[in-house]
Chain A
Amino acid sequence: MEFLTFLILFISAWVLWRRSEKERLAARLLIAGVVLMIFLFTLGTRTSLLPGLNY
Protein backbone atom coordinates (compact mmCIF):
# COMPACT_ATOMS: atom_id res chain seq x y z
CA MET A 1 0.00 0.00 0.00
CA GLU A 2 2.94 2.29 0.64
CA PHE A 3 4.10 1.64 -2.91
CA LEU A 4 0.67 2.64 -4.21
CA THR A 5 0.63 5.76 -2.04
CA PHE A 6 3.97 7.07 -3.26
CA LEU A 7 2.95 6.23 -6.83
CA ILE A 8 -0.14 8.40 -6.36
CA LEU A 9 1.94 11.26 -4.96
CA PHE A 10 4.34 10.98 -7.89
CA ILE A 11 1.50 11.14 -10.40
CA SER A 12 -0.06 14.07 -8.56
CA ALA A 13 3.21 16.03 -8.73
CA TRP A 14 3.65 15.09 -12.37
CA VAL A 15 0.16 16.31 -13.27
CA LEU A 16 0.79 19.51 -11.34
CA TRP A 17 3.95 20.12 -13.35
CA ARG A 18 3.15 18.90 -16.84
CA ARG A 19 -0.69 19.13 -16.91
CA SER A 20 -1.29 22.08 -14.63
CA GLU A 21 -4.74 22.70 -16.10
CA LYS A 22 -5.88 19.43 -14.49
CA GLU A 23 -5.76 20.87 -11.00
CA ARG A 24 -8.79 18.92 -9.82
CA LEU A 25 -7.19 15.60 -10.77
CA ALA A 26 -3.93 16.53 -9.03
CA ALA A 27 -5.81 17.66 -5.93
CA ARG A 28 -7.86 14.45 -5.79
CA LEU A 29 -4.70 12.39 -5.97
CA LEU A 30 -3.29 14.51 -3.16
CA ILE A 31 -6.37 13.82 -1.03
CA ALA A 32 -6.09 10.11 -1.82
CA GLY A 33 -2.54 10.23 -0.46
CA VAL A 34 -3.73 11.86 2.75
CA VAL A 35 -6.45 9.24 3.20
CA LEU A 36 -4.00 6.39 2.59
CA MET A 37 -1.51 7.88 5.07
CA ILE A 38 -4.16 8.07 7.78
CA PHE A 39 -5.37 4.56 6.94
CA LEU A 40 -1.89 3.05 7.12
CA PHE A 41 -0.99 4.72 10.40
CA THR A 42 -4.30 3.81 11.97
CA LEU A 43 -3.89 0.24 10.76
CA GLY A 44 -0.51 0.03 12.45
CA THR A 45 -1.66 1.61 15.72
CA ARG A 46 -5.19 0.28 16.11
CA THR A 47 -4.33 -1.72 19.23
CA SER A 48 -3.39 1.54 20.97
CA LEU A 49 -4.54 4.58 19.03
CA LEU A 50 -3.07 7.08 21.49
CA PRO A 51 0.57 7.21 22.56
CA GLY A 52 1.43 4.62 25.19
CA LEU A 53 2.31 6.91 28.04
CA ASN A 54 0.85 8.19 31.26
CA TYR A 55 -2.04 10.63 30.95
Chain B
Amino acid sequence: MKRSPLYTVLALAVLFLAVVPLGTSVFVLGFFLGDSPCILCWAQRIGMALVALIGLFVLRYGPKPKYLGLGVLVGAWGVFMAIRHSSLHLARDVGQGFALEMLGAHTYIWSFAVFWVCIVVMAAMLMKVPAEDLQPAAPRALRGIDRVALAGFLLVIAGTIVQAFASTGPPPFVGQSDPVRFSFDPRHWVWSLDEFSSAPVSVRGRWAIAKPDVTAVDPDPATAPLHSVPQLTIAGRRSLNLGLNGAPTDLAYDAASNRYLLTTEHGVYLTDGALQNVVRHTVIDPLFSVDMGRFAGAAFLGNDRIIAVTENKSYLVLRETGKADVDLNYRYFLESPEAFEEVSRARFATLRAKMMYVMSAAADPESHSIVTLTVPNAKSRNMVVSRFDMADMTLSEEFVPKLSAQPGIVLPEEGNPLAAYYVTAATIANGRLYALSAAHSTLFVIDLASRSVVAVYTIPGLAQPVGLVLKDAQFVIVSRDGTLASVDVPAAAGGHP
Protein backbone atom coordinates (compact mmCIF):
# COMPACT_ATOMS: atom_id res chain seq x y z
CA MET B 1 0.00 0.00 0.00
CA LYS B 2 2.85 2.32 0.77
CA ARG B 3 4.49 1.72 -2.55
CA SER B 4 1.57 2.28 -4.86
CA PRO B 5 1.32 6.08 -4.41
CA LEU B 6 5.08 6.36 -4.84
CA TYR B 7 5.00 4.50 -8.15
CA THR B 8 2.04 6.58 -9.25
CA VAL B 9 3.97 9.76 -8.52
CA LEU B 10 6.93 8.36 -10.43
CA ALA B 11 4.78 7.44 -13.44
CA LEU B 12 3.27 10.92 -13.48
CA ALA B 13 6.74 12.47 -13.20
CA VAL B 14 7.96 10.42 -16.17
CA LEU B 15 4.88 11.38 -18.13
CA PHE B 16 5.37 15.05 -17.29
CA LEU B 17 9.02 14.89 -18.32
CA ALA B 18 8.15 13.16 -21.58
CA VAL B 19 5.26 15.41 -22.51
CA VAL B 20 6.25 18.89 -21.28
CA PRO B 21 9.97 19.50 -21.85
CA LEU B 22 10.69 16.68 -24.32
CA GLY B 23 7.35 16.63 -26.15
CA THR B 24 7.16 20.41 -26.40
CA SER B 25 10.72 20.54 -27.70
CA VAL B 26 10.14 18.14 -30.53
CA PHE B 27 6.53 18.70 -31.56
CA VAL B 28 5.99 22.40 -30.82
CA LEU B 29 9.45 23.99 -31.02
CA GLY B 30 10.81 21.53 -33.57
CA PHE B 31 8.09 20.41 -35.97
CA PHE B 32 5.79 23.43 -35.60
CA LEU B 33 8.24 26.35 -35.12
CA GLY B 34 11.21 24.88 -36.98
CA ASP B 35 13.67 25.01 -34.08
CA SER B 36 16.75 22.81 -34.37
CA PRO B 37 18.78 22.14 -31.23
CA CYS B 38 22.51 22.81 -31.20
CA ILE B 39 24.87 20.01 -30.20
CA LEU B 40 24.75 21.08 -26.54
CA CYS B 41 20.94 21.31 -26.57
CA TRP B 42 20.82 17.81 -28.02
CA ALA B 43 22.98 16.45 -25.20
CA GLN B 44 20.72 18.14 -22.65
CA ARG B 45 17.63 16.71 -24.31
CA ILE B 46 19.23 13.26 -24.23
CA GLY B 47 19.86 13.82 -20.51
CA MET B 48 16.18 14.54 -19.90
CA ALA B 49 15.16 11.47 -21.88
CA LEU B 50 17.61 9.40 -19.83
CA VAL B 51 16.14 10.65 -16.55
CA ALA B 52 12.66 9.72 -17.78
CA LEU B 53 13.90 6.33 -18.97
CA ILE B 54 15.54 5.65 -15.62
CA GLY B 55 12.18 6.43 -14.03
CA LEU B 56 10.65 3.77 -16.27
CA PHE B 57 13.33 1.30 -15.17
CA VAL B 58 12.34 1.92 -11.56
CA LEU B 59 8.69 1.46 -12.46
CA ARG B 60 9.53 -1.86 -14.08
CA TYR B 61 12.36 -3.29 -11.97
CA GLY B 62 11.91 -1.47 -8.69
CA PRO B 63 14.17 1.10 -6.98
CA LYS B 64 17.42 -0.80 -7.43
CA PRO B 65 20.44 1.17 -6.22
CA LYS B 66 22.07 1.08 -9.65
CA TYR B 67 19.09 2.83 -11.24
CA LEU B 68 18.70 5.32 -8.43
CA GLY B 69 22.42 6.10 -8.55
CA LEU B 70 22.34 6.47 -12.31
CA GLY B 71 19.36 8.81 -12.01
CA VAL B 72 21.23 11.09 -9.62
CA LEU B 73 24.33 10.91 -11.82
CA VAL B 74 22.45 11.88 -14.99
CA GLY B 75 20.58 14.61 -13.12
CA ALA B 76 23.81 16.06 -11.76
CA TRP B 77 25.44 15.89 -15.18
CA GLY B 78 22.36 17.59 -16.60
CA VAL B 79 22.68 20.47 -14.13
CA PHE B 80 26.34 20.81 -15.12
CA MET B 81 25.41 20.78 -18.81
CA ALA B 82 22.77 23.44 -18.26
CA ILE B 83 25.19 25.71 -16.37
CA ARG B 84 27.94 25.20 -18.93
CA HIS B 85 25.60 25.90 -21.82
CA SER B 86 23.83 28.83 -20.20
CA SER B 87 27.14 30.45 -19.29
CA LEU B 88 27.57 31.33 -22.96
CA HIS B 89 24.59 33.66 -22.76
CA LEU B 90 23.77 34.59 -19.15
CA ALA B 91 25.85 37.77 -19.09
CA ARG B 92 24.54 39.23 -22.34
CA ASP B 93 22.46 42.41 -22.47
CA VAL B 94 18.89 42.21 -21.32
CA GLY B 95 16.64 40.15 -23.56
CA GLN B 96 19.50 38.61 -25.51
CA GLY B 97 20.11 34.90 -25.73
CA PHE B 98 20.20 32.00 -28.16
CA ALA B 99 17.28 30.52 -30.06
CA LEU B 100 13.75 30.34 -28.68
CA GLU B 101 12.21 31.61 -25.47
CA MET B 102 9.57 29.74 -23.48
CA LEU B 103 7.64 31.62 -20.80
CA GLY B 104 10.22 34.38 -20.75
CA ALA B 105 13.32 32.21 -20.55
CA HIS B 106 15.46 30.56 -23.19
CA THR B 107 15.35 26.80 -23.55
CA TYR B 108 18.79 26.17 -22.02
CA ILE B 109 17.63 27.85 -18.79
CA TRP B 110 14.63 25.55 -18.63
CA SER B 111 17.01 22.65 -18.93
CA PHE B 112 18.64 23.76 -15.69
CA ALA B 113 15.26 23.95 -13.96
CA VAL B 114 14.18 20.52 -15.24
CA PHE B 115 17.35 18.72 -14.13
CA TRP B 116 17.33 20.47 -10.78
CA VAL B 117 13.71 19.51 -10.16
CA CYS B 118 14.51 15.93 -11.23
CA ILE B 119 17.21 15.66 -8.58
CA VAL B 120 14.94 17.16 -5.93
CA VAL B 121 12.10 14.78 -6.82
CA MET B 122 14.43 11.77 -6.85
CA ALA B 123 15.82 12.74 -3.45
CA ALA B 124 12.33 13.20 -2.00
CA MET B 125 11.20 9.84 -3.36
CA LEU B 126 14.32 8.09 -2.12
CA MET B 127 13.50 9.16 1.41
CA LYS B 128 10.20 7.34 1.08
CA VAL B 129 11.43 4.06 -0.44
CA PRO B 130 10.83 1.16 1.98
CA ALA B 131 13.93 -0.89 2.76
CA GLU B 132 12.37 -4.12 1.49
CA ASP B 133 11.95 -2.56 -1.96
CA LEU B 134 15.72 -2.37 -2.31
CA GLN B 135 15.97 -6.15 -2.44
CA PRO B 136 16.13 -7.96 -5.86
CA ALA B 137 12.72 -8.88 -7.16
CA ALA B 138 10.99 -9.95 -10.35
CA PRO B 139 9.91 -7.25 -12.79
CA ARG B 140 6.79 -5.46 -11.67
CA ALA B 141 3.57 -5.82 -13.58
CA LEU B 142 2.81 -2.50 -15.24
CA ARG B 143 -0.37 -0.71 -14.22
CA GLY B 144 -2.40 1.51 -16.49
CA ILE B 145 -0.63 4.70 -15.49
CA ASP B 146 2.73 3.01 -16.00
CA ARG B 147 1.76 1.98 -19.54
CA VAL B 148 0.58 5.50 -20.31
CA ALA B 149 3.94 6.86 -19.15
CA LEU B 150 5.79 4.29 -21.24
CA ALA B 151 3.68 4.94 -24.32
CA GLY B 152 4.07 8.68 -23.93
CA PHE B 153 7.81 8.29 -23.61
CA LEU B 154 8.05 6.07 -26.70
CA LEU B 155 5.89 8.43 -28.75
CA VAL B 156 8.00 11.47 -27.87
CA ILE B 157 11.26 9.62 -28.44
CA ALA B 158 9.98 8.38 -31.81
CA GLY B 159 9.29 11.97 -32.81
CA THR B 160 12.71 13.00 -31.55
CA ILE B 161 14.33 10.27 -33.61
CA VAL B 162 12.73 11.76 -36.71
CA GLN B 163 13.92 15.26 -35.77
CA ALA B 164 17.41 14.03 -34.92
CA PHE B 165 17.72 12.20 -38.24
CA ALA B 166 16.69 15.30 -40.21
CA SER B 167 18.75 17.76 -38.16
CA THR B 168 21.90 15.81 -37.44
CA GLY B 169 21.88 12.77 -39.72
CA PRO B 170 22.99 9.20 -39.10
CA PRO B 171 26.35 8.45 -37.44
CA PRO B 172 29.02 9.68 -37.69
CA PHE B 173 27.28 13.04 -38.30
CA VAL B 174 26.66 15.06 -35.15
CA GLY B 175 24.72 18.15 -34.13
CA GLN B 176 26.01 21.60 -34.98
CA SER B 177 27.03 24.59 -32.89
CA ASP B 178 24.80 26.85 -34.96
CA PRO B 179 22.09 24.65 -36.48
CA VAL B 180 19.81 25.56 -39.39
CA ARG B 181 16.01 25.70 -39.28
CA PHE B 182 14.29 22.32 -39.06
CA SER B 183 12.61 21.01 -42.18
CA PHE B 184 10.99 17.77 -43.27
CA ASP B 185 12.34 18.48 -46.78
CA PRO B 186 15.62 16.56 -47.30
CA ARG B 187 16.88 19.34 -49.58
CA HIS B 188 17.20 21.57 -46.50
CA TRP B 189 18.95 19.07 -44.29
CA VAL B 190 22.50 19.89 -43.22
CA TRP B 191 24.51 17.00 -41.84
CA SER B 192 27.79 18.07 -40.35
CA LEU B 193 31.07 16.71 -39.08
CA ASP B 194 32.35 20.15 -38.07
CA GLU B 195 32.41 19.25 -34.38
CA PHE B 196 35.07 16.63 -35.08
CA SER B 197 37.42 19.21 -36.58
CA SER B 198 40.68 19.85 -34.79
CA ALA B 199 40.36 22.20 -31.82
CA PRO B 200 42.44 22.72 -28.69
CA VAL B 201 41.15 21.03 -25.55
CA SER B 202 40.99 23.45 -22.64
CA VAL B 203 39.48 23.56 -19.17
CA ARG B 204 38.52 27.24 -19.20
CA GLY B 205 39.08 28.31 -22.81
CA ARG B 206 39.32 32.05 -23.33
CA TRP B 207 38.62 32.65 -19.64
CA ALA B 208 41.99 31.20 -18.63
CA ILE B 209 43.78 34.55 -18.37
CA ALA B 210 47.00 34.78 -16.40
CA LYS B 211 47.29 37.59 -13.86
CA PRO B 212 49.43 40.48 -15.13
CA ASP B 213 53.08 40.58 -14.17
CA VAL B 214 55.30 43.56 -14.75
CA THR B 215 58.39 41.50 -13.97
CA ALA B 216 57.80 39.22 -16.96
CA VAL B 217 58.15 41.81 -19.73
CA ASP B 218 61.19 42.77 -21.77
CA PRO B 219 62.22 46.37 -21.01
CA ASP B 220 64.62 46.66 -23.95
CA PRO B 221 63.50 49.34 -26.47
CA ALA B 222 65.69 47.74 -29.13
CA THR B 223 63.40 44.72 -29.41
CA ALA B 224 60.23 46.80 -29.83
CA PRO B 225 58.10 46.61 -32.99
CA LEU B 226 58.28 50.38 -33.43
CA HIS B 227 61.57 51.63 -34.81
CA SER B 228 63.34 54.98 -35.05
CA VAL B 229 61.50 56.17 -31.96
CA PRO B 230 63.01 59.28 -30.33
CA GLN B 231 64.64 58.72 -27.01
CA LEU B 232 64.25 60.51 -23.69
CA THR B 233 67.00 60.56 -21.10
CA ILE B 234 66.59 60.03 -17.39
CA ALA B 235 67.66 63.28 -15.76
CA GLY B 236 67.86 62.03 -12.20
CA ARG B 237 67.25 59.07 -9.94
CA ARG B 238 66.75 58.46 -6.28
CA SER B 239 65.21 55.86 -4.04
CA LEU B 240 61.96 56.17 -2.16
CA ASN B 241 62.43 55.89 1.56
CA LEU B 242 58.89 55.97 2.85
CA GLY B 243 58.51 52.69 4.70
CA LEU B 244 55.82 51.35 2.39
CA ASN B 245 54.35 47.95 3.20
CA GLY B 246 55.38 46.55 -0.17
CA ALA B 247 56.45 47.40 -3.69
CA PRO B 248 54.84 50.51 -5.20
CA THR B 249 52.13 49.87 -7.78
CA ASP B 250 51.19 53.41 -8.87
CA LEU B 251 51.85 57.08 -8.34
CA ALA B 252 49.60 60.14 -8.74
CA TYR B 253 50.11 63.83 -8.07
CA ASP B 254 47.73 66.58 -6.99
CA ALA B 255 48.98 70.07 -7.86
CA ALA B 256 46.32 71.77 -5.76
CA SER B 257 47.57 70.26 -2.52
CA ASN B 258 51.09 69.51 -3.73
CA ARG B 259 50.85 65.93 -2.58
CA TYR B 260 51.57 62.53 -4.06
CA LEU B 261 49.48 59.40 -3.83
CA LEU B 262 51.28 56.06 -3.80
CA THR B 263 49.77 52.61 -3.76
CA THR B 264 51.15 49.22 -2.90
CA GLU B 265 49.36 45.91 -3.30
CA HIS B 266 46.74 46.93 -0.75
CA GLY B 267 48.24 50.06 0.74
CA VAL B 268 47.35 53.72 0.10
CA TYR B 269 49.89 56.41 0.99
CA LEU B 270 49.62 60.19 0.75
CA THR B 271 52.97 61.98 0.87
CA ASP B 272 54.25 65.52 0.83
CA GLY B 273 55.23 67.26 -2.40
CA ALA B 274 58.82 66.11 -2.08
CA LEU B 275 57.92 62.43 -1.72
CA GLN B 276 59.87 62.45 1.52
CA ASN B 277 57.21 61.91 4.18
CA VAL B 278 53.99 59.97 4.45
CA VAL B 279 51.28 62.26 5.75
CA ARG B 280 48.44 59.77 5.75
CA HIS B 281 48.10 56.12 4.92
CA THR B 282 46.02 53.04 5.29
CA VAL B 283 46.06 49.41 4.30
CA ILE B 284 42.73 48.09 3.17
CA ASP B 285 41.24 44.75 3.97
CA PRO B 286 40.85 43.29 0.47
CA LEU B 287 38.74 40.35 1.56
CA PHE B 288 35.13 39.61 2.50
CA SER B 289 33.60 41.97 -0.04
CA VAL B 290 34.38 43.02 -3.61
CA ASP B 291 37.47 41.08 -4.74
CA MET B 292 40.02 43.90 -4.77
CA GLY B 293 42.99 42.10 -6.31
CA ARG B 294 46.13 44.22 -6.30
CA PHE B 295 46.06 47.99 -6.65
CA ALA B 296 47.25 48.93 -10.12
CA GLY B 297 46.31 52.58 -10.46
CA ALA B 298 45.38 55.55 -8.32
CA ALA B 299 44.23 59.14 -8.71
CA PHE B 300 43.06 62.20 -6.84
CA LEU B 301 39.37 62.93 -7.36
CA GLY B 302 39.14 66.28 -5.54
CA ASN B 303 37.20 67.13 -2.38
CA ASP B 304 39.59 65.04 -0.30
CA ARG B 305 38.70 61.95 -2.25
CA ILE B 306 41.04 59.49 -3.87
CA ILE B 307 40.50 56.38 -5.95
CA ALA B 308 42.54 53.21 -6.19
CA VAL B 309 41.85 50.83 -9.06
CA THR B 310 42.87 47.17 -8.99
CA GLU B 311 44.17 44.93 -11.74
CA ASN B 312 40.75 43.30 -12.07
CA LYS B 313 39.10 46.71 -12.47
CA SER B 314 37.56 46.83 -9.03
CA TYR B 315 37.96 50.19 -7.37
CA LEU B 316 37.93 51.83 -3.99
CA VAL B 317 37.04 55.46 -3.27
CA LEU B 318 38.31 56.88 0.03
CA ARG B 319 37.73 60.22 1.68
CA GLU B 320 40.35 61.76 3.91
CA THR B 321 39.22 62.52 7.41
CA GLY B 322 40.71 63.00 10.79
CA LYS B 323 37.81 61.67 12.75
CA ALA B 324 36.73 58.42 11.20
CA ASP B 325 34.88 55.95 13.38
CA VAL B 326 37.61 53.42 14.15
CA ASP B 327 35.18 50.71 15.16
CA LEU B 328 33.08 51.20 12.07
CA ASN B 329 36.21 51.09 9.91
CA TYR B 330 37.45 47.85 11.44
CA ARG B 331 35.79 46.01 8.58
CA TYR B 332 37.51 48.08 5.87
CA PHE B 333 41.08 48.73 6.97
CA LEU B 334 43.96 46.74 8.38
CA GLU B 335 45.99 49.83 9.33
CA SER B 336 45.15 53.42 10.29
CA PRO B 337 41.39 53.02 10.41
CA GLU B 338 41.07 56.63 11.59
CA ALA B 339 42.64 58.15 8.47
CA PHE B 340 39.99 57.53 5.82
CA GLU B 341 36.35 56.82 5.31
CA GLU B 342 35.42 54.32 2.66
CA VAL B 343 33.05 55.96 0.18
CA SER B 344 32.57 53.04 -2.18
CA ARG B 345 34.04 49.71 -3.16
CA ALA B 346 32.76 48.44 -6.48
CA ARG B 347 33.75 47.32 -9.97
CA PHE B 348 34.17 48.88 -13.38
CA ALA B 349 32.55 46.96 -16.23
CA THR B 350 34.06 47.04 -19.69
CA LEU B 351 33.37 45.67 -23.14
CA ARG B 352 36.52 45.63 -25.27
CA ALA B 353 38.64 45.29 -22.15
CA LYS B 354 36.47 42.59 -20.59
CA MET B 355 39.01 39.79 -20.95
CA MET B 356 42.06 41.85 -20.04
CA TYR B 357 43.58 43.12 -16.82
CA VAL B 358 44.74 46.69 -16.27
CA MET B 359 47.90 47.95 -14.61
CA SER B 360 47.28 51.67 -14.73
CA ALA B 361 44.61 54.27 -14.10
CA ALA B 362 44.44 58.03 -14.27
CA ALA B 363 41.91 60.77 -13.62
CA ASP B 364 40.92 63.28 -16.27
CA PRO B 365 39.55 66.40 -14.58
CA GLU B 366 38.42 67.90 -17.90
CA SER B 367 36.04 65.09 -18.76
CA HIS B 368 35.44 64.18 -15.11
CA SER B 369 36.52 60.63 -15.89
CA ILE B 370 38.67 57.77 -14.76
CA VAL B 371 40.73 56.15 -17.51
CA THR B 372 42.29 52.68 -17.49
CA LEU B 373 44.55 50.94 -20.00
CA THR B 374 44.73 47.20 -20.52
CA VAL B 375 47.77 45.00 -20.67
CA PRO B 376 47.82 42.25 -23.31
CA ASN B 377 47.58 38.57 -22.47
CA ALA B 378 47.98 35.35 -24.40
CA LYS B 379 44.38 35.45 -25.65
CA SER B 380 43.71 39.18 -26.02
CA ARG B 381 46.56 41.16 -27.45
CA ASN B 382 45.66 44.81 -27.62
CA MET B 383 45.85 48.14 -25.83
CA VAL B 384 42.36 49.25 -24.85
CA VAL B 385 41.64 52.62 -23.27
CA SER B 386 38.46 52.63 -21.16
CA ARG B 387 36.92 55.84 -19.81
CA PHE B 388 34.48 55.83 -16.91
CA ASP B 389 32.33 58.80 -15.92
CA MET B 390 32.97 59.75 -12.30
CA ALA B 391 29.29 60.61 -11.90
CA ASP B 392 28.21 56.99 -12.06
CA MET B 393 31.49 55.10 -12.54
CA THR B 394 30.07 53.61 -15.72
CA LEU B 395 31.84 53.03 -19.00
CA SER B 396 31.52 56.06 -21.26
CA GLU B 397 33.99 55.27 -24.00
CA GLU B 398 36.40 52.57 -25.09
CA PHE B 399 38.92 52.67 -27.89
CA VAL B 400 42.12 51.26 -29.23
CA PRO B 401 44.44 54.21 -29.88
CA LYS B 402 45.10 54.91 -33.53
CA LEU B 403 48.74 54.62 -34.40
CA SER B 404 49.94 55.88 -37.75
CA ALA B 405 53.35 56.44 -39.29
CA GLN B 406 54.66 59.87 -38.43
CA PRO B 407 58.00 61.57 -38.12
CA GLY B 408 60.03 59.53 -35.72
CA ILE B 409 57.88 56.40 -35.87
CA VAL B 410 58.37 53.53 -38.31
CA LEU B 411 55.56 51.00 -38.13
CA PRO B 412 56.14 47.28 -38.71
CA GLU B 413 54.92 45.95 -42.06
CA GLU B 414 52.25 43.80 -40.47
CA GLY B 415 50.63 43.06 -37.13
CA ASN B 416 49.35 45.29 -34.36
CA PRO B 417 52.40 46.96 -32.81
CA LEU B 418 50.47 48.15 -29.73
CA ALA B 419 49.93 44.49 -28.74
CA ALA B 420 53.62 44.26 -27.83
CA TYR B 421 53.41 47.00 -25.21
CA TYR B 422 52.47 46.62 -21.55
CA VAL B 423 51.20 49.87 -20.06
CA THR B 424 51.86 49.90 -16.33
CA ALA B 425 51.68 53.62 -15.60
CA ALA B 426 49.55 56.49 -16.87
CA THR B 427 48.66 60.08 -16.22
CA ILE B 428 46.51 62.69 -17.94
CA ALA B 429 47.21 66.37 -18.51
CA ASN B 430 45.81 68.92 -20.98
CA GLY B 431 43.71 66.40 -22.85
CA ARG B 432 46.58 64.01 -23.34
CA LEU B 433 46.97 60.56 -21.91
CA TYR B 434 50.56 59.62 -21.15
CA ALA B 435 50.88 55.84 -21.10
CA LEU B 436 54.16 54.27 -20.08
CA SER B 437 54.85 50.71 -21.14
CA ALA B 438 57.15 48.56 -19.02
CA ALA B 439 57.67 46.45 -22.13
CA HIS B 440 60.27 48.19 -24.28
CA SER B 441 60.32 51.16 -21.85
CA THR B 442 58.18 53.23 -24.18
CA LEU B 443 56.02 56.27 -23.51
CA PHE B 444 52.92 56.87 -25.66
CA VAL B 445 51.31 60.27 -25.84
CA ILE B 446 47.65 59.81 -26.77
CA ASP B 447 45.37 62.67 -27.71
CA LEU B 448 42.07 61.87 -26.01
CA ALA B 449 39.98 63.93 -28.42
CA SER B 450 41.24 62.24 -31.59
CA ARG B 451 42.04 58.93 -29.84
CA SER B 452 45.36 58.96 -31.65
CA VAL B 453 48.95 58.42 -30.62
CA VAL B 454 50.58 61.76 -31.32
CA ALA B 455 54.06 60.97 -30.05
CA VAL B 456 56.13 57.99 -28.91
CA TYR B 457 59.37 57.99 -26.94
CA THR B 458 61.64 55.37 -25.50
CA ILE B 459 63.19 55.88 -22.05
CA PRO B 460 66.14 53.47 -21.82
CA GLY B 461 67.19 52.49 -18.34
CA LEU B 462 63.74 52.08 -16.82
CA ALA B 463 63.12 48.84 -14.99
CA GLN B 464 59.55 47.82 -14.23
CA PRO B 465 57.97 51.28 -14.04
CA VAL B 466 54.59 51.24 -12.26
CA GLY B 467 53.71 54.90 -11.74
CA LEU B 468 53.92 58.08 -13.80
CA VAL B 469 53.05 61.70 -13.05
CA LEU B 470 53.70 64.98 -14.81
CA LYS B 471 54.95 67.73 -12.52
CA ASP B 472 56.73 70.97 -13.37
CA ALA B 473 57.50 69.93 -16.97
CA GLN B 474 59.02 66.70 -15.74
CA PHE B 475 57.83 63.14 -15.75
CA VAL B 476 58.27 61.52 -12.36
CA ILE B 477 58.37 57.76 -12.69
CA VAL B 478 58.33 55.26 -9.86
CA SER B 479 59.52 51.71 -10.43
CA ARG B 480 58.55 48.55 -8.67
CA ASP B 481 61.86 48.51 -6.80
CA GLY B 482 61.11 51.93 -5.30
CA THR B 483 63.35 53.94 -7.61
CA LEU B 484 62.21 57.41 -8.64
CA ALA B 485 63.31 58.67 -12.02
CA SER B 486 62.75 62.09 -13.50
CA VAL B 487 62.60 62.81 -17.21
CA ASP B 488 62.25 66.19 -18.89
CA VAL B 489 59.06 66.47 -20.92
CA PRO B 490 59.84 67.26 -24.57
CA ALA B 491 57.93 70.09 -26.23
CA ALA B 492 56.08 67.72 -28.58
CA ALA B 493 54.79 65.84 -25.58
CA GLY B 494 53.46 68.92 -23.86
CA GLY B 495 56.58 70.20 -22.14
CA HIS B 496 58.17 73.60 -22.37
CA PRO B 497 59.51 74.43 -25.86
Contacts and interface: CB of A to CB of B under 8 A. Distances in A.
Interface of A: 1-7, 9-10, 12-14, 16-17, 20-21, 23, 26-27, 30-31, 33-34, 36-38, 40-41, 43-55
Contacts of A9: 46, 49-50, 53, 157
Interface in B165-216: 165, 167-175, 177, 195-196, 199-207
B139 A20 contact: yes
Contacts of B42: 2, 40
Interface in B59-109: 60-61, 66, 70, 73-74, 77, 81, 83-84, 86-88, 90-91
Contacts of A5: 46, 164
A27 B73 CA distance: 15
A43 B172 CA distance: 13
Contacts of B161: 3, 6-7, 10
Contacts, number: 153
Contacts of B158: 10
B46 A2 contact: yes
Contacts of A52: 87-88, 204-207
Given A34-B70, A40-B43, A52-B206, 19 more contacts: A5-B46, A5-B164, A9-B49, A13-B53, A14-B154, A16-B60, A17-B142, A20-B139, A23-B61, A33-B50, A34-B74, A37-B74, A40-B42, A41-B40, A43-B196, A47-B200, A51-B86, A52-B205, A52-B207
B467 interface: no
A25 B147 CA distance: 20
Interface of B: 38-40, 42-44, 46-47, 49-50, 53-54, 56-57, 60-61, 66, 70, 73-74, 77, 81, 83-84, 86-88, 90-91, 139, 142, 147, 150, 153-154, 157-158, 160-161, 164-165, 167-175, 177, 195-196, 199-207
A30 B83 contact: no
Contacts of A10: 154, 157-158, 161
Contact of A40 (B39, B56, B147): B39
12 contacts: A3-B165, A5-B164, A7-B161, A9-B50, A10-B158, A16-B150, A33-B46, A41-B44, A44-B195, A46-B199, A48-B203, A54-B207
Nearest to A7: B161
Contact of A21 (B50, B74, B139, B167): B139
Nearest to B175: A2
